[in-house]
Amino acid sequence: MKKILKSLVLFLMLVVSSLTFAKEKLYVGTNAEFPPFEYLDKGDIVGFDIDLVKAIGNKLGMDVVIKDMSFDGLIPALETNKVDIVIAGMTATDERKIAVNFSNPYYTANQVIILKDDNKDIKTFDDLNGKLVGVMLGFTGDVVVSEMKNVESKKYNASFAAIMELQNNKIDAVVLDSETALNYLKNNKGLKLADTSGEPEEYAIAISKKNTELLNKINTALDELKKDGTYESLLKKYM
Ligand code: ARG
């Protein structure tokens, strides 16, 4: 009897200690097809956003668990509590603000036009008139192009697929966020950017409307990471 009691006490102590030491988890949704913000490297999800959110997790004393999913599934995942936050180079648009809260912005970008080197007739967004343009489903570039009259868009799930089709002359251009476009240019020959400057877009972390406490904590952590040089060193590492 004593022996059983002893092992019971030991077991209970073990349970209590593991509860005290296990960090709370922070479930983070992303779509790892957006270099240099999030992408797969030999099967690992890496990138600017991933390092940034891990640094935020550190500040909050939470264990970051990354969940990779399709871009248009990210906001629904937040709304159904499958993830706590989303970091995905996501632009804080007015439309999305109806569904979720956004942290303070952490990066500014804009839409650009990617072309084949030998393209001579597309110089501005107006020149996309009558052309077939590749966009990624649910990205802001998709919205921008869909609002243009006389422009036909072809929607892709992943930007590398659109880039490939551009290289094979299946489409005339790709509209994509600036930093990611530059990243594709760096790694693919025969491409160039049209000389345009689209409206600035601010990337921010999305959080469920129900979780204002977490929103405040994340903003504080972001501020701290900007002050202590972490943010700057991540820019240097990835951009
Ligand atoms: N900034 C654009 C948007 O908010 C594209 C983001 C794409 N991000 C990604 N991880 N796939 O729509």
In the chain the domains, ranked by start, together with CATH numbers, are: 22-107+202-238 (3.40.190.10), 111-199 (3.40.190.10)
83: CB partners within 8 A, 6+ apart: 27, 28, 29, 67, 74, 77
Banded model confidence at residue 116, pLDDT cuts 50, 70, 90: very high
pLDDT number for residue 2: 76
Q: Which of 102, 112, 139, 205 has the most ligand 1 atoms within 8 A of CB, as the residue to mutate?
A: 139
pLDDT number for residue 211: 93
Local structure of residue 197 (DSSP, 8 states) = -
Would you say residue 3 has pLDDT above 90? no
Instruction: Determine if ligand 1 sits within 6 Å of the CB of residue 35.
Output: no
Atom of ligand 1 nearest to the CA of 90: 4
On whether the CB atoms of residues 176 and 114 are closer than 8 A, the answer is: yes
Would you say residue 7 has pLDDT above 90? no
**β-bridge partners, 29:** 67, 86
For 12, 86, 118, 128, the CA distances from 181, given in Å and listed in that order, are 55, 22, 17, 17
Task: Please tell me the distance between residue 126's alpha carbon and the centre of ligand 1 in angstroms.
Answer: 23
pLDDT number for residue 20: 64
pLDDT in tens, 190-237: 999 997 778 899 999 999 999 999 999 999 999 999 999 999 999 999
Banded model confidence at residue 17, pLDDT cuts 50, 70, 90: low
Biggest alpha carbon–alpha carbon distance for the chain: 88
pLDDT number for residue 162: 97
Nearest alpha carbon, ligand 1 atom 12? 139
Q: How large is the angle between the packed helices 159-167 and 178-187, nearest 10 degrees?
A: 50
Q: Which of 163, 177, 178 has the most ligand 1 atoms within 8 A of CB, as the residue to mutate?
A: 177
Measure CA of the first residue to CA of the last residue in the chain; give whole Å. Answer: 65
Task: Please tell me the distance between residue 60's alpha carbon and the centre of ligand 1 in angstroms.
Answer: 25
pLDDT in tens, 95-110: 999 999 999 999 999 9
Banded model confidence at residue 146, pLDDT cuts 50, 70, 90: very high
pLDDT number for residue 111: 96
pLDDT in tens, 196-207: 778 899 999 999
Q: Assign 46 to helix, strand or coil.
A: strand
Q: What are the tokens at 199? A: 């409206």
Local structure of residue 189 (DSSP, 8 states) = T
On whether the CB atoms of residues 124 and 197 are closer than 8 A, the answer is: no
Banded model confidence at residue 4, pLDDT cuts 50, 70, 90: confident
pLDDT number for residue 224: 98
Nearest alpha carbon, ligand 1 atom 5? 139
pLDDT in tens, 167-178: 999 999 999 999
Calculate mean pLDDT across residues 149-153: 96
Q: What are the tokens at 195? A: 């000389």
Mean pLDDT value across the chain? 94
Amino acid at 20: T
pTM of the model: 0.90
On whether the CB atoms of residues 153 and 146 are closer than 8 A, the answer is: yes
- Residue percentage of the chain with pLDDT more than 70: 97
On whether the CB atoms of residues 207 and 75 are closer than 8 A, the answer is: no
